[in-house]
Structures are given as C-alpha cells and as structure tokens.
C-alpha cells in the first residue's frame, strides 16, 4: 500500500479528525514508507493560515511523506458552524487556496481578502520541508472551476469517482487535462490525476456479494436506495473477487487516461474493524501487486508517476516548479499577452 | 422550412388507465393539431413518472440518475414545450410529481412553454393549478401559460372538457410555433426571436470562468 488518506469531518456519523495532521502525525510515527494524504482537507471552512502551519509541521514530522487534497465539503452546516456562507463555496476555495499557496511559497505575506482578517508581513512557520510545499490535489465531483484551479497552479486533480457515473468523471478529468496543457505545465496526458473507488472483496465473488449486501442496503450514504447491482453498474463500486476488482479498476484508465493515484474507500457502511482489516490484506496481497504491474506496463515513459517529496525537491532544484497561470511559453500566457495588447490598442484609440 | 418540434408530457398519474395521463395526452394532441395545421410536426414524448418512481427515490438518496431517469430529464431538457400533469393529493400535486421536479436542474425549464394540468375527485380542488403547480413551475422559470386545465371526475362526462382541452392545446401550439424557426405564419421574425424564446441547453463546461478572473474577484 502506497498511500493512506483520511477525511476531515466535523459531524457524526464521521469519525475522521477535524484536523487531519493530528492523525497523520500519529500514523507517520508508526510507519516508514507509506505516503499520508487527505480526502479531503476542507479549504472552504479551515483557515488557510492553519492549513499552512499544520501541514508544514506534519510534513517535517513525516519526513516529507505528506500531501493533501482540497475539498469544499459535503455537509452544508459546516459552513455556518465556521462562520462561512455555502453560497460562497467556490470563491472561498479560490481565495483560501491562493493565500495558502503564497504562505508556502513566500516568506513575508501581505494579504487582504474577502474572507479572513488581513495579514501584514506574516510568515507561516515552520517553513515547508526543504522549501518545498506538500503536493496538492484539488478534489471536486461536479464543479468545473476546481479542475480549472488545479490546472492553473499545475497541481493535481482528484475525482472521488464513487457516487457518480463514469461519464461525469471522464468529462471532469478531460477538462482538467486540457486546461493543464493550456497553462503549459505539461501535455494533456502528463496532468496529475487521482481517482477514488469503492470495493468489497472476497476470494469468491458470490461470497463478497452475500457478505456486503446487508451493509450496502443499510449504508448511511446510499442505503435504502438502489439495489447493489444497479449501483454497481451505474458507479465504480465493485463487489467481487480480486480478479473482478482488478479488471474494473484497470477499466478506469479507459476513461481517465494514465493516472497517478488510486484511492479506495475502505472503512465505511458500518463494516466491522476485522472485516476492514481483511479487506486491506486482500487489497495489499491480491489486488495492488497486479494493478501496479499492469498500470506500470501500460503507462508511456513520458507520463510521470505520482509526485513524492523527493521528486518535488528534484524539480525545485532544477528550477522547474510550475508557475501559477503558466510560464511565458504557455498558450495561456500568449493569450493574456494578446488580450493586454488589444486592451492597450482600445485605450489608444479611445484617446 | 419544416422543423420537428418536441413536446414532453410529464404525468404523475398512477393507475393503468390514468385520467391524469389521459388529460396530459389530450392536451398534447390538441397542440399537435395546431402545429400540423401550420405544416410542422410535433413529436409527443410521454414521461410516466410511475415507471420512474424507484429511480427518482434512488436519485434522491444517491444523486445517481438511473439511465431511465436521465433519459426523462434529457427529454424535458431538450423539449420545445411541456405539459405537466398531476393528480390532486391533499390539496396539492402528488409527491411523485414534485420528486421529478426536485431532481431537475434549477435552470432546466427556463422559458419553456408549459401547460399545467391536474385531475381530482372533486371540482372544489380546482385551485390546485394556481396555488401549487403554478408557483412550483414559476420558481423553475418555466413559461407557464395562463390557461391550465383542472378536470374533476364529473368533467369526464361533459363535452365541455374537450372544448377546454382544445383551447389550451391551441394556445400551447401557437406558443410552440412562435418559438420554432419555421415561424408562426410569418407575422414576426421568429428566427430573430428564437434566442430569447428558446432556451439554450447549457453545457456546464462551456462557460467556466478563466481562473485569473476568479482570482481577481477575491483577495490576494
């Protein structure tokens, strides 16, 4: 297993931490190799100053094994609980992330915005490990502004890919890839894509279906709704043998292209701890080795693997950090120059 | 030129031979007569919510539309006109009727010529059109025609019902023609009026603001 990601929640039935770095630090202290991430960090209702400080801190504690995924949240009342307005979800995500980005990339930040108190000459501490901020994924199910944001910064895009039909995931990923190329961070197929997934595995397919059905039928999110068979055909949920899970997961590549991260929703629907641990064993022993081999064999050489702290440090040292909005050679920069020229001409003409 | 127009009939009638469905279809047929007289053709697509009841409930819970529910939503989205028909339950439209409009996008019905129709056991509920159905469809920005039809059980025994149906059908048919590129008997330039009258089916990816403008709208 390469990655563990925790959610951030402020309400039952979720038991995820309100501040993920607490759990990440705990796991980091007990592990050596696994990458620690979030799914997701609430960029809308968490103060970006605290995100900058807490995730930098845990990045040091974990020797760089930290990245994070930005999300806007799935629970309406969280906004008012933290003094925010859900109708401002997108502007909050835009302003807060821009501030977070600056806090990680600039030592002294002057800031004034719509959503938090201004800052004058503020320095977020600790500074990111090796002066390289944790890698950021931006997650969204259906708002195209978020893949646009991810592409602008040259960050990753994550689609949870579980509660939606694949056609929708496909469009979001396609849009992100187009915009990533437009902003000049790499070609269409080099954009950094992560997907979610949801599986229940037993050696024998029928055993998996029989055992998971009562949990599915009563699950907090989709219980008492569609049949497990309908939900399986309409969303990426897979209930079956390791081979079925492998085949289904490989099929994600057909609509998302070569992608860099696959997460699975594992601890949910009231599954007992023992069952969840068995699921992790089955994933680790039977599914991941095959998936890793197959995906690696299919991925062309010019398509990067998921970023790690080491790869980001190397990129930083090589002076190849992505420039928000694109470097001067990007189509985006050329279009901006053209627009500025046209505006200048209009200005001259109106004199 | 001729153009094929499409009319969606959304009916929440539940029984096998439902008067609600019958009423909706009769209005569609009357509208179709008017459209064909003008040399155009009207495709009538009946969406029986009874067949979608499970799918609509599933969608409420999971946000995932079954293929049948998605088809129905797309049919309404792409239609040139709508007949929305419900039985009267407890002084309002039925829950099933509301469920369909609950899962449709806020802007899906914008400027869509719409006739409201309801059935009930007693003529005393005739205001359901104006107290329940019209506010709902107005909220969704449909172009709800002033004429609607309420049919009580006893109305099915009077020729007057057909006259009312024909009258509503005529006003709907005229609206449909006014919005069609073929035009309504050349009395005005329908092509020029079209962008205002006909809704544009919005593609949510076609108009994503450039990120720089999003950034410019907040602090930095």
| Chain segment B134-152, per-residue pLDDT in tens | 999 999 999 999 999 999 9
pLDDT of residue B179: 81
Residue B211, chain A, CB below 8 Å: the answer is yes
Residue B61, chain A, CB below 8 Å: the answer is yes
As a whole number of Å, the CA-based R_g of chain A is 21
Q: Is the distance from CB of A279 to CB of A201 less than 8 angstroms?
A: yes
Residue B159, chain A, CB below 8 Å: the answer is no
Q: Contact A98/B218, CB-based, under 8 Å?
A: yes
Nearest residue in chain A measured CA to CA from B219: A113
The CA distance from B55 to the nearest CA of chain A, in Å, is: 8
| Residue carrying the six token digits 């002076």 | A319
Query: Where do the DSSP E strands lie in chain B?
Result: 4-11, 41-48, 81-89, 92-93, 113-120, 143-144, 149-152
d(CA A198, CA B68): 24
Residue B217, chain A, CB below 8 Å: the answer is yes
d(CA B217, CA A124): 24
For chain B, what is the mean pLDDT?
A: 90
User: CB-CB: which of A145, A164, A235 is closest to B214?
Assistant: A145
ipTM: 0.81
Q: Is the distance from CB of A200 to CB of A239 less than 8 angstroms?
A: yes
Residue A304, chain B, CB below 8 Å: the answer is no
Q: Contact B218/A115, CB-based, under 8 Å?
A: yes
Reported confidence tier of residue B193, pLDDT bands at 50, 70, 90: very low
Q: Is the distance from CB of A331 to CB of A182 less than 8 angstroms?
A: yes
Residue A220, chain B, CB below 8 Å: the answer is no
Query: Most B CBs within 10 Å: which of A103, A148, A218, as the mutation test of the B interface?
Result: A148
Q: Is the distance from CB of A6 to CB of A39 less than 8 angstroms?
A: yes
Which B positions 64-93 lie with beta carbon below 8 A of chain A?
64-67
Which residues neighbour B113 within 8 Å (Cβ) at sequence distance 6 or greater?
B80, B81, B82, B142, B143, B145, B172, B175, B176, B179
The CA distance from A112 to the nearest CA of chain B, in Å, is: 6
Residue A17, chain B, CB below 8 Å: the answer is no
Dihedral sign, CA of B109, B115, B120, B126? positive
Helix (H) / strand (E) element for B208: namely none
Closest CA relative to residue A165, chosen from A236, A255, A217: A236
User: CB-CB: which of A102, A115, A325 is closest to B212?
Assistant: A325
Reported confidence tier of residue B200, pLDDT bands at 50, 70, 90: low
Reported confidence tier of residue B182, pLDDT bands at 50, 70, 90: low
Which residues neighbour A30 within 8 Å (Cβ) at sequence distance 6 or greater?
none
> Which alpha helices (H) appear in A183-227, and where do they start and end?
205-217
The CA distance from A111 to the nearest CA of chain B, in Å, is: 6
Residue A226, chain B, CB below 8 Å: the answer is yes
Phi, psi for residue A113 in degrees, rounded to 5: -145, -170
For B203, the 3-state DSSP assignment is coil
Contacts of A225 in chain B (CB under 8 A): 57-58, 60-62
Q: Contact A171/B218, CB-based, under 8 Å?
A: no
Contacts of B211 in chain A (CB under 8 A): 94, 145, 148-149, 151-152, 325
Task: Please check the confidence at residue B129 and state whether its pLDDT lies above 90.
Answer: yes
Residue B106, chain A, CB below 8 Å: the answer is no
Q: Residue B210 has which token pair?
A: 């450039």
Helix (H) / strand (E) element for A346: namely helix A331-349
Closest CA relative to residue A180, chosen from A153, A141, A159: A153
Nearest residue in chain A measured CA to CA from B217: A91
| Residue carrying the six token digits 């153009």 | B3
pLDDT of residue A254: 96
d(CA B60, CA B42): 32
Q: Is the distance from CB of A92 to CB of A84 less than 8 angstroms?
A: yes
Show me where the domains of chain A are located: 3-349
Number of DSSP helices (H) and strands (E) in chain A, helices first: 13, 12
Q: Residue A13 has which token pair?
A: 């039935």
d(CA A312, CA B99): 49
Q: Contact A91/B62, CB-based, under 8 Å?
A: no
Dihedral sign, CA of B207, B208, B210, B213? positive
Reported confidence tier of residue B202, pLDDT bands at 50, 70, 90: low
Q: What is the pLDDT of residues B107-123, one digit of tens each?
A: 899 999 999 999 999 99
CATH class, domain A3-349, is alpha beta
The CA distance from B60 to the nearest CA of chain A, in Å, is: 9
Nearest residue in chain B measured CA to CA from A223: B61
Nearest residue in chain B measured CA to CA from A143: B204
Contacts of B63 in chain A (CB under 8 A): 163-164
Burial class (CB in 10 A: 0-12, 13-18, 19+), B82: buried
Could you give the domains of chain B? 4-216 (3.40.50.360)
User: CB-CB: which of B61, B209, B218 is closest to A95?
Assistant: B218
d(CA A234, CA A238): 11
Residue B62, chain A, CB below 8 Å: the answer is yes
Query: How many inter-chain contacts (A to B, CB under 8 Å) are there?
Result: 83
Query: Most B CBs within 10 Å: which of A43, A72, A84, A94, as the mutation test of the B interface?
Result: A94
pLDDT tens, position by position, for chain A (351 residues)? 999 999 999 988 788 999 999 999 999 999 999 999 999 999 999 999 999 999 999 999 999 999 999 999 878 899 999 999 999 999 999 999 999 999 999 999 999 999 999 999 999 999 999 999 999 999 999 999 999 999 999 999 999 998 778 888 999 999 999 999 999 999 999 999 999 999 999 999 999 999 999 999 999 878 898 999 999 998 899 999 999 999 999 999 999 999 999 999 998 889 999 999 999 999 999 999 999 999 999 999 999 999 999 999 999 999 999 999 999 999 999 999 999 999 999 988 887
Q: Contact A113/B204, CB-based, under 8 Å?
A: no
């Amino acid at each position: 297993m390469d990655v563990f990601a925790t959610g951030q929640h402020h309400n039952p039935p979720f038991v995820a931490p309100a501040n993920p770095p607490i759990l990440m630090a705990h796991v980091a202290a007990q592990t050596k190799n696994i990458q620690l991430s979030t799914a997701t960090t609430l960029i809308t209702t968490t103060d970006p100053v605290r995100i900058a400080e807490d995730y930098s801190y845990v990045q040091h504690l974990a020797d760089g094994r930290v990245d994070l995924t930005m999300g806007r949240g799935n629970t309406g009342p969280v906004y008012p609980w933290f003094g925010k307005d859900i109708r401002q979800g997108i502007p909050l995500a835009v302003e807060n992330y821009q501030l977070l980005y600056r806090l990680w990339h600039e030592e002294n930040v002057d800031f004034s915005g719509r959503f938090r108190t201004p800052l004058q000459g503020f320095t977020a501490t600790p500074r990111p490990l090796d002066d390289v901020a944790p890698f950021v994924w931006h997650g969204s199910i259906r708002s195209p502004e978020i893949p646009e944001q991810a592409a602008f910064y040259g960050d990753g895009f994550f689609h949870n890919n579980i509660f939606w039909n694949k056609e929708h995931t496909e469009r979001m990923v396609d849009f992100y890839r187009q915009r990533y190329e437009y902003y000049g961070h790499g070609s269409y197929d080099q954009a950094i894509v992560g997907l979610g997934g949801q599986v229940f595995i037993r050696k024998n397919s029928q055993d998996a279906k029989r055992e998971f059905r009562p949990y599915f039928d009563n699950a907090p999110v989709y219980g008492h709704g569609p049949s497990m068979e309908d939900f399986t055909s309409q969303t990426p949920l897979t209930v079956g043998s390791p081979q079925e899970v492998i085949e289904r997961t490989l099929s994600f590549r057909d609509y998302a292209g070569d992608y860099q991260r696959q997460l699975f929703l594992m601890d949910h629907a009231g599954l007992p701890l023992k069952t969840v641990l068995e699921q992790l064993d089955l994933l680790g022993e039977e599914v991941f080795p095959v998936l890793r081999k197959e995906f690696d064999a299919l991925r062309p050489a010019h398509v990067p693997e998921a970023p790690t702290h080491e790869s980001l440090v190397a990129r930083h040292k090589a002076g190849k950090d992505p420039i928000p909005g694109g470097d001067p050679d990007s189509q985006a920069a050329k279009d901006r120059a053209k627009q500025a020229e046209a505006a200048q001409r209009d200005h001259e003409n109106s004199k | 030129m001729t153009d094929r127009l499409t009319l969606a009939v959304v009916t929440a009638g539940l029984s096998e031979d439902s008067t609600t469905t019958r009423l909706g279809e009769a209005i569609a047929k009357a509208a179709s007569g008017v459209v064909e007289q003008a040399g155009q053709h009207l495709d009538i697509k009946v969406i029986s919510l009874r067949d979608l009841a499970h799918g609509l409930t599933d969608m409420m819970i999971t946000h995932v539309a079954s293929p049948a529910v998605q088809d129905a939503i797309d049919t309404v989205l792409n239609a040139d006109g709508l007949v929305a028909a419900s039985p009267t339950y407890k002084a309002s439209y039925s829950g099933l009727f509301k469920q369909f409009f609950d899962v449709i996008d806020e802007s899906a019905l914008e400027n869509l010529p719409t006739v409201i129709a309801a059935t009930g056991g007693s003529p005393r509920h005739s205001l359901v059109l104006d107290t329940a159905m019209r506010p709902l469809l107005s909220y969704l920005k449909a172009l709800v025609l002033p004429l609607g039809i309420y049919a009580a059980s006893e109305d099915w025994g009077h020729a007057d019902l057909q006259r009312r149906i024909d009258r509503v059908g005529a006003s709907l048919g005229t609206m449909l023609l006014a919005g069609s590129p073929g035009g309504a008997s050349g009395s005005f330039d329908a092509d020029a009026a079209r962008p205002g009258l006909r809704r544009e089916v919005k593609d949510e990816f076609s108009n994503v603001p450039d990120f720089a403008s999003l950034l410019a709208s907040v602090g930095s």
